[in-house]
A and B are shown apart, each in its own frame.
Chain A
Amino acid sequence: MRGHLRALVFAGSVMVALVLSGVAGRSVHAEQAGTPEVKIDNFSFGPATITVAAGTTVTWVNRDDIPHTVVSADSVFKSKALDTDEKFTYTFSKAGTYSYFCSLHPKMTGQIVVR
């Protein structure tokens, strides 16, 4: 239930962000940038740090033979266990630095910088 509400809130803020960026004439630009992808390979996130514009959806894909998770250190987002080739996406609506890790193998860490 809470997850649903949170998803709605995020969807709402994404729409606001899109509208705002549309007004500023940057929506086309943002779409050309595509959806950045973080590959999980050999027990690491690559690239370990990426910088995206607010409103960007980031996709993680697990290329390992072992499941991993993508969990925000500040509990902002949390994937289920991703088996081989499974994906997780999250849309970053607010600027900030989001540190995350794999809750199964916490030595695996990464960062999304949202401007």
Chain B
Amino acid sequence: MEQEDKKSADLHDDGVDRRGFLKCMAWAGTGLVWTMSGGVPVSQVFAKSIGKQNKSADLTFVQISDSHMGFNKPANTDVIGTLKTAIDQINGLGTQPEFLLHTGDISHLSKPEEFDNVDQILKSANAKEVFYVPGEHDMLDDGNGKAYLERYGKSAKGAGWYSFDKKGVHFIGLVNVVNLKAGGLGTLGQEQLEWMEDDVQHLKHSTPIVVFAHIPLWSVYPEWGWGTDDSAQALGYLKKFGSVTVLNGHIHQIMQKVEGSVTFHTARSTAFPQPEPGKAASPGPMKVPAEQLKSVLGITDVNFVKGKHSLALVDSTLA
């Protein structure tokens, strides 16, 4: 009953019920603020109000993704410039994030100078701590990801997976871009799954969980490889938890879905957009008129409020 009350209150505040939310799930072109209360998601259309809503948040962090440093094709010939814009935007947020999450494809071709450029640009962020997971583009050095691990994953396990805690929230960074099998999707692999099962075993059911990985951990569009073959097993370990948020990149556009207590969300890229599933011959970079580019790139601001068991995500474009 209490949940119902809470839901009503939130509905009153936000003006969009679950049905409305489901409608909004389809290709959100602008952005969406959404919170979870008692496992029931409610939402409102985002209206340039970053930071205003969540001044009381106990933990704020920002997700950036797919910076593809080194990319120089017509879809964006200045990925340095757009990443800088993203960092400027983050530095201008009303509530400063405690840290940044980068959900992979940091580089385009895993070249040292590409990683160097990203590191250099991220130094200008007010938030000094950055947590990474690799994308498939970060695994292209001769050592099949050794360069990534040496730079970003020194204390990580296996191909770069790890977990950490911030203000009562448990974060799990997963790697689903190595040892991919012909014809398949993203893969976590047995070793990582076993580690993850063990990692969450000791946690209280009330611990909010944030899982982040490059390729979506839900079946967005398998025809384009937008999913992870063994994600169901990973999510199975999280069934006992009341609040699970899954943050991914890879598809360069916002997608969101709610399944029980699990909310899935993909972030925009800071480099170039990709087409909606099935709306083009392939998922390759999508060229938009130059003046529109920044309106299809973006960042995701995430706020957690203790006790309220709510986690709010705010997507905003670089425009």
Contacts and interface: CB of A to CB of B under 8 A. Distances in A.
Interface stretch (B94-102, B182-190, B231-239): B182-190
B282 A107 contact: no
B8 to A, nearest CB: 45
Contacts of A64: 282, 284
Interface string A84-115: 10000000000000011101111101000000
A67 B285 contact: no
B75 interface: yes
Binding site of A, secondary structure by majority: helix, strand, loop or mixed?
A: loop
Given A101-B182, A107-B225, A44 B282 contact: yes
Contacts of A100: 182
A107 B109 contact: no
Nearest to B178: A103
B181 A65 contact: no
A42 B285 CA distance: 10
A99 B182 CA distance: 9
Contacts, number: 56
B290 interface: no
Given A67-B109, A83-B109, A107-B225, A43 B180 contact: no
Contact of A103 (B75, B109, B180, B285): B180
Given A43-B224, A65-B284, A109 B180 contact: no
Given A66-B285, A81-B140, A104-B137, A109 B108 contact: no
Contacts of A43: 224, 282-284
Interface residues of A, number: 21
Binding site of B, secondary structure by majority: helix, strand, loop or mixed?
A: loop
A73 interface: yes
A42 to B, nearest CB: 4
B139 to A, nearest CB: 8
B136 interface: yes
Nearest to A64: B284
B223 A107 contact: yes
Interface in A44-66: 44, 64-66
Interface of A: 42-44, 64-67, 73, 80-81, 83-84, 99-101, 103-107, 109
23 contacts: A42-B284, A43-B224, A43-B284, A44-B282, A64-B282, A65-B74, A65-B284, A66-B284, A67-B108, A67-B109, A80-B140, A81-B109, A99-B182, A100-B182, A104-B140, A105-B136, A106-B180, A106-B181, A106-B182, A106-B183, A107-B185, A107-B225, A109-B183
Given A104-B137, A105-B225, 13 more contacts: A42-B282, A64-B284, A65-B73, A65-B75, A65-B285, A67-B109, A67-B137, A106-B180, A107-B183, A107-B185, A107-B222, A109-B182, A109-B183
| For the complex of A and B, 9 pairs with smallest distance between CB atoms | A101-B182, A42-B282, A43-B282, A65-B73, A81-B140, A106-B180, A107-B225, A42-B281, A104-B136
